[in-house]
A and B are shown apart, each in its own frame.
Chain A
């Protein structure tokens, strides 16, 4: 059974703190690794889709890295703001264009002003 693990499960930080989360996935049959930001009662919103080992992507204060050989990805948030509060999901695509996305349970981030 394919499993995607995310840690920590939840995180409470102060405004201005930098933080990072981990996503672990199977290192075989890798096609892509996705990161999504999910606010309560809204649709998950894509942050990054990463396909190559060593990929590093950045969007504003948020960045991500990918290591497909060892099966992990890190998501970094620099200078957290209260509006960053959300659940951050990673998803592993093991089957190409008709493959399925296996999601982790997410990391719930709360940023206190």
Chain B
């Protein structure tokens, strides 16, 4: 069966420090992968999606970047965190076709101080 791993679960980082969140998927190949964020009082916002190695699409301009170095690995990064980067980050795998659900990692609670 397919599983999705995301780490770390919680993170407290100072403003200006770098960030690296990792997501890996097991049990499938060439998955469509997504990074979402929920900021305080807001809904889930799509940040990046990737349909293959080295292929990244950004939905919103921001202080973050994403990379897909391997087929089943998706990384969210920042060179210098801002206070506004605080939130709950979720990695997701959407297998398709249209009648299937998305699967999520456990999430990372990021607090920038």
Using CB atoms and an 8 Å cutoff, list the residues of chain A in contact with chain B.
6, 31-32, 34, 36, 41-44, 46, 49, 51, 89, 91, 93, 96-106
Contact = CB atoms under 8 A, between A and B. Distances in A.
Contacts of A100: 34, 46, 49, 59, 94
Interface stretch (B63-71, B72-80, B96-104): B96-104
A43 B99 contact: no
Contact of B99 (A49, A89, A91): A49
Given A43-B105, A44-B104, A98-B51, A93 B90 contact: no
Contact of B46 (A34, A46, A102): A102
Q: Chain B at the A interface: mostly helix, strand, loop or mixed?
A: loop
B36 interface: yes
A100 B57 CA distance: 11
A97 B51 CA distance: 10
B43 interface: yes
Contact of A41 (B49, B92, B107): B107
26 contacts: A31-B98, A32-B98, A36-B102, A41-B109, A43-B90, A43-B105, A43-B106, A44-B90, A44-B102, A51-B99, A89-B43, A96-B97, A96-B98, A97-B98, A98-B51, A98-B96, A101-B34, A101-B46, A101-B94, A101-B102, A102-B46, A103-B43, A103-B46, A104-B43, A105-B42, A105-B44
